Each structure stands twice: as structure tokens, then as C-alpha cells.
Amino acid sequence: MAEIGYVTEDELEAYATARGITISGNKAVLLQKALDWLELQPFSGEKYDEDQELEFPRDDDDEVPDKIKTAQIVCALIYDSGGDPLAAISKKVIREKVDVLEVQYSESSSGNDLYPHLSLLLAPYLTGGGSGFNVVRG
């Protein structure tokens, strides 16, 4: 089976099965959406070959790290479960002061889930070592 980005549909299925997850969507579409998201991340370093289509491999290593492959799979499963790491993030006002204007926003609002698994997988590969990356939301 052909790769879609960094992994195959079989690898997606094997990962999900090992964790008791049933995939309901089209695997190729899920992997493509996940790849689209993954390729937008601010990775540190340079592409291994300036003519390569995808962001990985990078620098002096001609291999794609396992964590990058896993990140594509995890992101595909997030899409399959109805999440969307590319969705807009909204915050709701939890306190408002009128005189000398003061507004306080909640850290998250209902419907916006953090995706810490993606953050942890990608942190070593992002510009700045992933500092502050724990804002992967859907």
C-alpha cells in the first residue's frame, strides 16, 4: 500500500487496532488531512534535500523520525474522532470590568480540546524546541 505522507493506511490501521480504536472515516482522506496539518508546523532545521516535497527528512539525517510518523497517525485519528487541529480557537469572557476596562478570557472554551499528544510528539522537532507548542487545539 502506498504511503500518504509519512505512513500507510495499514500503519494507521495497525496503530488504531493496537489501541482499541475503530476508524470510521476514509483512511486516505484522514492521512491527507493530517499531513496537511503536519506540513504547516514550524520545524527547525532544513530539509535533507532542498528538492524534496515534504518537510522530512531534515538536516543530516535521511530518515523520517518515528515520532513524526506517529504524529501524522495521531492527527488522522483526531480528525476521525471529529476534532480539527486547524480549527479556529475561541475564548470566552469569564470576567469583565467596565471602569478602566479589564477583560479576562478563559484558557479554553467548551468544544476546544487541547491535543497534548501531538505537542509532545512534535516538540523536539519544532523551532525553539517546541517551547509554547502546547497550544495544539481543535
CB atoms closer than 10 angstroms to residue 124: 12
pTM of structure: 0.78
Q: Give a three-class secondary structure readout of the chain.
A: CCEECCEEHHHHHHHHHHCCCCCCCCHHHHHHHHHHHHCCCCECCCECCCCCCCCCCECCCCCCCHHHHHHHHHHHHHHHCCCCCCCCCCCCEEEEECCCCEEEECCCCCCCCECHHHHHHHHHHEHHHHCCCCCCEC
In DSSP terms, 3 is beta-bridged to 8
Q: What is the Cα–Cα distance from 40 to 35, expressed in whole angstroms? A: 9
pLDDT of residue 1: 77
- pLDDT 10s per residue in the chain (138 long)? 789 999 999 999 999 999 999 999 999 999 999 999 999 999 999 999 999 999 999 999 999 999 999 999 999 999 999 999 988 765 554 455 556 666 655 555 444 347 889 989 999 999 875 444 344 444
Which of these, 89, 1, 85, 2, lies nearest to 36 by C-alpha position? Answer: 85
pLDDT of residue 92: 54
